[in-house]
Amino acid sequence: MTATATRVLVLNSGSSSVKYQLLDMKPDSAGGSAAGTRLAVGLVERIGEETSRLAHTPLATGGDKRETEGPIADHEAALKAVAAELSADGLGLDSPQLAAIGHRVVHGGLKFTAPTVIDDAVLKEIERLVPVAPLHNPANITGIRTAQALRPDLPQVAVFDTAFHTTMPEYAARYAIDVATADAHRIRRYGFHGTSHAYVSRKTAELLGKDPSEVNVIVLHLGNGASASAVAGGRCVDTSMGLTPLEGLVMGTRSGDIDPAVTFHLKRVAGMSEDDVDVLLNKKSGLVGLCGDNDMREIRRRIDEGDERARLAFDIYIHRLKKYIGAYTAVLGRVDAVAFTAGVGENAAPVRAAAVAGLEEMGLAVDADLNAVRSGEPRLISPEYARVAVAVVPTDEELEIAQQTYALVNA
Ligand code: ADP
């Protein structure tokens, strides 16, 4: 890497999509920490279909968003199309200013506790984890291989969704099932959204003017997927997602916690197949299963019109959230802050208000005026008298991946 190489391309490869951001990690002029200026952002969707779509915004040049539609056969073609878009703005992947490519990798198992420079052995290990992440890791591997083929000389770094959770104590990570069976099949709670939980817990400490090692935070990452984590002094001690991202909170389309016997029942009594149950719990449950909508904006609109199904879906969502706030308060012993993040957490004031309503005895309260403020900045929404700070902290997984990637290749 040359001294002028300060750019990082962040790739988040899904099964039929690639999200990307090109960031410049040059320290700011004041000599502070890496700035993480966004040069370009974009998304390729519906890869493999006739109607693939690429949306690219060249932020560096201040240019408008460019959208192109037409078949993009596979990830290789997608990344080549992205490279062409970047080149058009003078930001091509062949630039000597590109320091590394950072890949979001969903499952890192127990082995990957930190970002890792990818070599053959690392790729093999990510591949070995496919049985526990069948939907995600294959797409991540394809993204890595494609990027390697485009720039074989460049460091490629894997940043794992599970890494932040590898500090969970054994009693929080292990399911209470037969140990031999669990170990033979690597069944345990891994947790996901780790990059976000790490970023948001650190930012929350910053908001409180403290070092992360001094604060205990409950992070509520409420997007379409949703998870909670208990972070003690900067280390994750519990999280709501488990072997897969299905466990825990009520999500847009996933059930979250459920009696596992429901699955036997569906097979034995309702005659559903393994795949039917999988689709039911992952795609047709949660808010969408309860009321037909998974967008919180639409659910709130329906509630305002008096829709009972939407109201019940909202109440179930909130009830689960409250249970996790209570549980993680007990796990942490002392809570300094509860931080809301991701699409719902950052934008849905009624969700934040309802989640802490009635929890005054636990030191939790939300100030209605502060909660109503719309802003992209980290902010406190609790009244001054409250013992526990309640915060809204916008997440930035791409920035976190870029920072971790850049730090690793500069180490
Ligand atoms: P993911 O990354 O998991 O796909 P996001 O974190 O982007 O999801 O969150 C998407 C969700 O955020 C949407 O499904 C919607 O429910 C919610 N959301 C986004 N904007 C708003 C808003 N202004 N008010 C309420 N909810 C919102």
Domain ranges of the chain: 7-160, 209-397
Residue 224 Cβ < 6 Å to ligand 1: yes
Q: What whole-number distance in Å separates Cα of residue 182 and Cα of residue 177?
A: 7
What single-letter amino acid sits at 266?
Answer: L
From the CA of 348, how far away is ligand 1's center (Å)? 8
Q: What is the mean pLDDT of each run of 10 residues along the chain (411 residues)?
A: 81 90 83 76 93 94 92 92 92 92 95 96 95 86 93 96 97 98 96 97 98 98 96 98 96 97 96 96 96 96 98 98 98 98 97 97 97 96 96 96 95 85
104 is in an annotated binding site: yes
Q: Which two tokens stand for residue 399?
A: 């920035």
The domain made up of 7-160 is a member of CATH 3.40.50.620:
no
Please state the three-class secondary structure of 227-269 as a single string: EEEEEECCEEEEECCCCCCCCCCCCCCCCCCCCCHHHHHHHHC
Residue 63's contacts (CB-CB under 8 Å, 6 or more residues apart) are: 57, 89
36 is in an annotated binding site: no
Positive or negative, the CA dihedral 92, 94, 96, 100 is positive
Pocket test for ligand 1, best of 196, 224, 298, 397 (most atoms within 8 A of CB): 224
Residue 107's contacts (CB-CB under 8 Å, 6 or more residues apart) are: 126, 129, 132, 133, 136, 137, 160, 161, 162, 190
Model pTM score: 0.94
Residue 298 Cβ < 6 Å to ligand 1: no
Same CATH topology for 7-160 and 209-397: the answer is yes
Residue 294 Cβ < 6 Å to ligand 1: yes
Give the bridge partners for 116, in sequence order. Answer: 158
The answer to whether the CB of 296 falls within 8 A of the CB of 344 is yes
CATH class, domain 209-397, is alpha beta
b/e sequence 250-265, b meaning 16+ C-beta within 10 Å:
bbbbbbbeeeeeebee
Choosing from 24, 28, 119, 161, the catalytic residue is: 161
The answer to whether the CB of 137 falls within 8 A of the CB of 106 is yes
271 is in an annotated binding site: no
User: What was the pLDDT predicted at 31?
Assistant: 52
343 is in an annotated binding site: yes
Give the bridge partners for 229, in sequence order. Answer: 219, 239
User: What was the pLDDT predicted at 136?
Assistant: 86
Q: Give catalytic status of residue 304 as yes or no.
A: no
Atom of ligand 1 at shortest range from CA of 226: 3
Residue 307 Cβ < 6 Å to ligand 1: no
